[in-house]
Structure 1
């Protein structure tokens, strides 16, 4: 489970730091602050030194804020809140390390001593500016509306990828062999796009298993089921969906019906689905 959240955090950090709009926003803010010269920097520093100061400061502040915001998105993304409030919470928490960093940088550029009173003042200023810059970053990097979290939140993993409507890579083997691939395959890495075999619930994620590998997608299971067409398949349990071609045979153990896949996996069949599964796979009944 930890590895899943770590992957989500790393993907979201990559989305932030790999975005040209993110860095463009930081540079524009730095230039504005350089020209305006707030907090006495206009009078205490020449232009080029002031530009270097604000670039260095904004890069540090944006990086710290982004890291804390991504942690907030990863931890609180399951609470049902909208993305912007979660980012604001992260920005407010980030004000503390940002204020400390600003105090250290200002001391290095101006030579003034670091004091508790001055540090507290910098933190207060960060508490005001950090949410404002967070809102600006959100507006410049607002994600496509089509990308959803399992509980109508933001899908962190999907955000780090192109929208689901993007075309698979021309070189993809699955595209050549299966021109009518299910939509869910477009959410996977190109190397994992093969014949859709099964889906499984993994906490708030859906595990997608294909003939070329498996991958976790932060997507509500019911939404994942809607993206399996035109593959013929069956939901055998509230946590499992199986492609018909991947069913090897049925098995009964401890009074429960199981579906055995062609890979040798044994998956449970919920009691309400037993009659339908036995009828559908009557030629593969347990002995």
Structure 2
């Protein structure tokens, strides 16, 4: 596979792995299966082993499903316009490996000899589980995740923001944050983060009509990346949607409060 494909797939996978919503959904599903004990696991396993069984099974199944869906999304990005359509196709592909993996875990736990009918049933169950994972993940995705899994901006939009042309194609998306990093400028977009050899002041001249504000001598934050304003130790700060906190200089505090307060 080409390096850009691998980079894009890894970036999209990191979107899920860094998402609190994704992990909260995963934890909730494991908890439901543990408490309800479907497929006779309540009778066959004690409380703690049952939790371990469902935790391992779901970790493996979700890992396979999400990885498959991400790869499918990357491969089909410019062939299928709908994110839901790409995820649905990835779900169909993931059904077989998810089913085989869950069958293997069940056999290792409870014993028994695999049969053709049992494998077929596991593959069907794997398809249903993949659909469940896909549906829950899609419904709980944040807007930032959806942006990161969507196609890059069209050429015209990129032309309106000259700074994007300096980034690798897989990182070109709406600008979220620009900051100084030693002798470089770090540009964060909805599709990734990249260091470029460019002065911060020159980078700000190339953001086109990106709505946002320079909040500090070393930071520019776009409107869509602001979560809320904070006050720490008597100073104003911004919490961005990726969880980072950015200081606001005193000279720009009034403008920040006026825009996002």
Pairwise TM-score range, normalised by the shorter structure: 0.5 to 0.7
What are the ranges of 5 or more consecutive residues in structure 2 without an aligned counterpart? 155-168, 211-261
Q: Deviations over 1:173-216 (max 9, x none)?
A: 577xxxxxxxx9543745316159xxxxxxxxxxxxx99xxxxx
How many residue pairs are counted as aligned between the two chains? Answer: 189
Rounded to whole Å, the distance in 2 between the matches of 1:117 and 1:151 is 47
- Matched ranges for 1:233-272 at <5 A: none
Following TM superposition, the consecutive aligned residue runs of length 4 or more in structure 1 with deviations greater than 4 angstroms are: 145-148, 156-159, 170-175, 226-230
Pairing 1:34–2:34 present: yes
The corresponding residue for 1:279 is none
- Following the alignment from structure 2 to structure 1, what is the Cα–Cα distance between the partners of residues 7 and 44? 44
Q: CA deviation at 1:44?
A: 1.5
In structure 2, the residue matched to 1:164 is: 175
Deviation of 1:97 (Å): 0.6
- Structure 2 length normalisation: TM-score? 0.62
| Equivalent residues of 1:186, 1:193 under 8 A apart | no
Give the corresponding residue for 1:68. Answer: 68
Given that residues 184 and 195 in structure 2 are in contact (C-alpha distance below 8 angstroms), is that contact kept between their aligned partners in structure 1?
no
Deviations 1:14-56 (A, max 9, x none): 2222333323322211110011111121221111111101000
Aligned partners of 1:172 and 1:190 also within 8 Å: no
Q: Tell me, in whole angstroms, the C-alpha distance in 2 between the residues paired with 1:19 and 1:186.
A: 17
TM-score normalised by structure 1 residue count:
0.57
Greater fraction helix: 2
Residue 23 (str. 1) matches residue 23 (str. 2): yes
1:103–1:46 Cα change, 3 Å: same
Deviation digits for residues 55-108 of structure 1 (CA, Å, limit 9, x no counterpart): 000000000001111110111011142112211211121110111111110111
Cross-structure match for 2:233: none
Whole-angstrom distance in 2 between the partners of 1:26 and 1:15 = 15
Larger radius of gyration: 1
Residue 100 of structure 2: aligned partner: 100
Q: Structure 1: any 5+ residue segments left out of the alignment?
A: 176-183, 197-209, 212-225, 231-287
- The separation in 2 between residues aligned to 1:98 and 1:111, in whole angstroms, is 19
CA distance, structure 2, for counterparts of residue 11 and residue 164 of structure 1:
16
Aligned to 1:180: none
